[in-house]
Amino acid sequence: MAKASAEAAAVVRVRIPSPLRSYTDGDAEVAVAIPVLAPEHPPSLAAVLAGLDGRHRGLRFRIVDEQGRVRPHVKVFVGGALAPDLTVPVPSGSEVMIVAALSGG
């Protein structure tokens, strides 16, 4: 069986909006390394967010509900493209951007 190693890890930069920086000690950007079997099999967005939550406990539930859906007023972009769900692949070196939309007062 193939074994994940440090060499076979996708490293993803995640941009954190201000409402979530209480979880990252104020950091606006966090690098997340996700073990992968091979570069041609990049991790999913779900795996990236699970890795992010492993380092910053509680963050994921604020943006993804218990049914695995991105919350209504949150958008997640992968490589500049809006991610319709958490199955989107996230190649190593790409950027994940979390946007939290405010409206009204």
Partner 1 sequence: MPRARTKPVSAPARPVTLYVATRKGLWTLASDPARRGFKLAGPQFLGHIVHHVVLDPRDGRTLLAAARTGHLGPTIFRSTDRGRRWHEASQPPAFRTGSGRTVDHTFWLAPGHASQPGVWYAGTSPQGLFRSEDGGATWTGVDGFNEHPQRKAWCGGDQDGTPDGAKLHSILVDPRDAAHMYIGMSSGGVFESNDAGAGWRPLNRGIRADFLPDPAAEYGHDPHCVRFAGGNPDRLYQQNHCGIYRLDRPGEDWVDIGTGMPKSVGAVGFPLVAHPREPDTLWVFPMDGTDVWPRVAPAGKPAAYRSLDGGRTWRRQNEGFPASQAWWTVKRQAMCVDGREPAGVYLGTTSGEIWGSRDEGRTWRCLARHLPHIYAMEAA
Which residues here bind partner 1, judged by CB under 8 A?
19-20, 57-58, 61-69, 71, 73-74, 100-104
In sequence order, what are the beta bridge partners of 89?
44
Shortest approach of partner 1 to residue 41 CB, angstroms? 25
What is the rounded radius of gyration, in angstroms, for the C-alpha atoms of the chain?
Answer: 14
Q: Toward partner 1, which CB reaches closer, 36 or 64?
A: 64
Q: Could you tell me which residues come within 8 angstroms of residue 50 by beta carbon, excluding any fewer than 6 positions away? A: 60
Q: Toward partner 1, which CB reaches closer, 10 or 64?
A: 64
Shortest approach of partner 1 to residue 94 CB, angstroms? 24
Q: Toward partner 1, which CB reaches closer, 13 or 69?
A: 69
Secondary structure (3-state) at 98: strand
How far apart (Å, rounded) are the C-alpha atoms in residues 15 and 10? 16
Shortest approach of partner 1 to residue 103 CB, angstroms? 7
Shortest approach of partner 1 to residue 15 CB, angstroms? 15
Work out the burial of residue 64: count CB atoms within 10 Å of its CB; fewer than 13 is exposed, 13-18 middle, 19 or more buried: buried
